[in-house]
Amino acid sequence: MELNIKAKNLNLTDKVRDMVDDKLGRLEKFLPEDADANVTLKGKKNYVKVEMTIPMKRYTLRVEEEDRDLNTAIDRVQEIMERQIRKYKTRLTAKKRKGDPSEVIGAPVEAVDDVIETEDDSIHIVRNKRFVIHPMSAEEACLQMDMLGHGFFVFEEEESGEICVVYKRTDGEYGIIETAR
C-alpha cells in the first residue's frame, strides 16, 4: 500500500511522516499491494484533523478524526478505517460475489476535481467531481454513502441499470431517487 501524506497548516517533519507511515501502514495487511491511501493532516487553532481516503474498485473508504493530540487522532483513524475495511470485506463475502474479494477491492476509482466559473453571479459552483459509477444495490449504495460520510450517493442500480440517488433523510432513514426517461 502506498501512503500519500499531505499537510495543511502543519509542519510535516520526518518524525510525523514516519509516525503516520507506521500507524496507518498497519492497514496494509487488509488491502491489496497496489492500494493507494491518501492521508491529509490539517492543523487547526486548537486541534489537528486527520483525513484518510482509500479509493477502491466499488467503494471509497474514508475516515476523518479531530483531536488536540496528533497521535490520538491518527490512532482513531487507524481503528475506524480497520473496522470499515473489515465491514466492507464481510459484505463482499456475504453477497458471495464472483471472484476473489481482493480483485473487487484492488482497482482504484478515479476522481477529478475542477473549479467551474459561471457567468451568473448568483450561482457559484466551486467544485466538480467526476467519478466512475458502478452497478450496485441500494443497500450497497447506502453503505458506501455512510462510509464516505456524505448525505447522498449516486449509483447505477444493478438490476435495472438506471442511475439512482440514495440520500439520508432528516429522520435518519434512507430515501432513493430513481430516474426515468
Q: What is the pLDDT of residues 17-46, one digit of tens each?
A: 999 999 888 888 888 888 889 999 999 889
Mean pLDDT of 94-111: 47
Per-residue H/E/C for the chain: CEEEEEEECCCCCHHHHHHHHHHHHHHHHHCCCCCEEEEEEEECCCCEEEEEEEECCCCEEEEEEEECCHHHHHHHHHHHHHHHHHHHHHHHHHHCCCCCHHHHHHCCCCEEEECCCCCCCCCCCCCEEEECCCEECHHHHHHHHHHHCCCEEEEEECCCCCEEEEEECCCCCEEEEECCC
Neighbouring-strand partners of residue 6: 40
Give the tens place of pLDDT for each residue, 104-117. 444 444 444 444 44
Quick: pLDDT tens for 40-90.
999 988 999 999 999 887 778 889 999 999 999 999 999 999 988 888 777
Place of cell 473487487: 104
All three cell numbers of 46: 486548537
Q: How far apart are CA 137 and CA 94, in angstroms?
A: 14
How distant is the alpha carbon of residue 131 from its chain centre?
12
149 sits in the region (left: phi over 0; alpha: psi -120 to 50; else beta) called left
% the chain with pLDDT above 90 = 31
C-alpha span between 70 and 46 (Å, rounded): 11
The residue type at 87: K
Cell of 89: 470485506
Domains of the chain with CATH codes: 2-95 (3.30.160.100), 133-181 (3.30.505.50)
Q: pTM (2 decimals)? A: 0.59
User: How far is the CA of 84 from the CAs of 63, 71, 101, 105, 113, in angstroms?
Assistant: 9, 20, 15, 13, 25
